[in-house]
Amino acid sequence: MKKRITAIMLVLVLVAGITSACGNKDSSREPGDPAKAMFITNSMADAAQVFSWNEFQRLMGEFNIEMTQASGNNEAAVEVDAVERAITEKYDVIFINPTSVEAVLPALVRAKGAGIIVGLFSAKLPDGQTGEDAIDFFCGTDDFLSGIMAGEYVSNHFPDGANAVEVGGPVGDAAQIQLHNGFTGGVADNITILATQTCTGGWNVHEARQIMEDFLIQFGDAIDIVWCHWDEGANAVIGAAQAAGRSDIFIIGVGGSSVGYQNVHDGLQQLSVGRNYTTMVRQSLRNARTLLDGGSVSRMNIIPMDMITPDTIGDFTRPEW
């Protein structure tokens, strides 16, 4: 029988051996002094990033940090320019969720060298990179762990085995690899992955529906489960399944957006593995305040996912994104 990693064990692995970043280089600063921070995000066309920015504004007063925002419009060069502006204007903190972490790392090295506290928000460092000279901390979820949790969840619901298909997001996106590997590592041996297909056109809901339609033609009634890498894509999958008269398929999405929440509420989707952006924002601000005041924080701050199911949905507030 396959040896499977439980979510709790994986969290312990992630926490073990984490180094701490040490605090503020400005010896003239007193604990609690006001600070100014910039939230640099890949796109404010993304509802999750709009929600995160609203949460930064709502919570910043608790930590005496004044926030401004810059959007990269999905262009790494624009995000680099924002980092350079933060350096020139002597910001104290940068929180950044970039289009490409690798593309902005050199600018973040310069920012950290200038004494700016750098928090990587949501987007993780590429595999094999520690980013010690570029960031003070990461705060976000773990896509591999999301996949593990989803795989274990479906395994518990199909103890006698089942067949699954997988609908992924953009081709080459690092998160897609982690979500795929986590799910295949989390499912039991008797869960068969019939096929996996990612989208060539980004987070394209129309393409997600087409992929599901093709799966239904190819595999028909053999499909028991769909593992989709984002809630809006799962919504498109639901549409394809309904059009084919398949209301019995066990559908999973990732994100915890209002779309996923509503579909779980309505019984159309059995699980949304939710990212809790409010907790991410609060932890990011708390870390920055601690470092500003001369303390130390964990470099890796993994925020647990919300498992939004028909049984647990009453425990969660409807997302605003």
The yes-or-no verdict on residue 173 having pLDDT over 90 is no
Q: 305 lies in a domain?
A: no
Question: What average pLDDT does this structure show over 28-52?
Answer: 92
What is d(CA 117, CA 293) in angstroms, rounded to the nearest whole number? Answer: 12
286 occurs within a structural domain: yes
pLDDT of the residue at 10: 47
The sign one gets for the Cα dihedral 177, 183, 184, 185 is: positive
Whether residue 179 sits in one domain with residue 88: no
pLDDT of residue 28: 73
Give the span between the Cα atoms of 198 and 167, in whole angstroms. 6
Of the spans 23-27, 43-47, 212-216, which averages the highest pLDDT? 212-216
pLDDT at 126: 79
Looking at residues 215-221, what average pLDDT do you find? 98
Say if 11 falls within a structural domain. Answer: no
Q: Tell me, yes or no, whether 162 and 270 share the same domain.
A: yes
Q: Specify whether 70 is located in the same domain as 191.
A: no
**Residue 49 predicted with pLDDT over 80:** yes
What is the C-alpha to C-alpha distance for residues 230 and 110, in angstroms, rounded to an integer? 34
155 and 216, same domain (yes or no): yes
Domains identified in the chain, total number? 2
- In whole angstroms, what is the distance from residue 131 CA to residue 137 CA? 9
Domain range holding 120?
A: 19-141+276-298
Residues 88 and 62 placed together within one structural domain of the fold = yes
5 lies in some domain: no
194-208, pLDDT tens digit by residue? 999 999 988 899 999
pLDDT in tens, 66-113: 999 999 988 999 999 999 999 999 999 999 999 889 999 999 999 999
Per-residue confidence (pLDDT) for residue 24, from 0 to 100? 56
Of the listed ranges 16-25, 246-255, 304-313, the one predicted with least confidence: 16-25
Position 174 scores a pLDDT of 77
Same domain as 132, residue 148:
no
pLDDT tens-place string over residues 181-190:
999 999 999 9
Do 30 and 45 sit in the same domain of this protein? Answer: yes
Q: Quick one: 266 and 151 in the same domain?
A: yes
Chain segment 234-286, per-residue pLDDT in tens:
999 999 999 999 999 999 999 999 999 999 999 999 999 999 999 999 999 99
CATH of the domain at 243: 3.40.50.2300
Q: At residue 5, does pLDDT exceed 70?
A: no
Considering the domain architecture, whether residues 136 and 168 belong to the same structural domain is answered as: no
Reported as a pLDDT band with limits 50, 70 and 90, residue 22 is: low
Q: Does residue 149 share a domain with residue 126? A: no
Res. 8: pLDDT tops 70? no
The yes-or-no verdict on residue 14 having pLDDT over 80 is no
Cα–Cα nearest to 264, from 275, 249, 253: 253
Mean pLDDT of 220-228: 98
Residue 96's nearest CA partner among 85, 59, 173 is 85
H or E segment and range at residue 251: strand 250-255
Query: In the prediction, which pLDDT does 46 show?
Result: 85
- pLDDT of residue 15 exceeding 80: no
Answer whether residue 14 is part of any domain: no
Asked whether residue 232 is assigned to any structural domain, the reply reads yes
Residues 36, 83: one domain?
Answer: yes
Tell me if 320 is assigned to some domain.
no
Q: How does residue 21 score in pLDDT terms, banded at 50, 70 and 90?
A: low
Whole-model pTM: value is 0.85
% of the chain beyond a pLDDT of 70: 92
pLDDT at 2: 44
Task: Please compute Rg for the chain using Cα positions.
Answer: 21
Does 2 map to a domain? no
* pLDDT at residue 11, as a whole number: 46
pLDDT at 124 (0 to 100): 85
Shared-domain flag, residues 171 and 214: yes
Three-class SS state of 253: strand
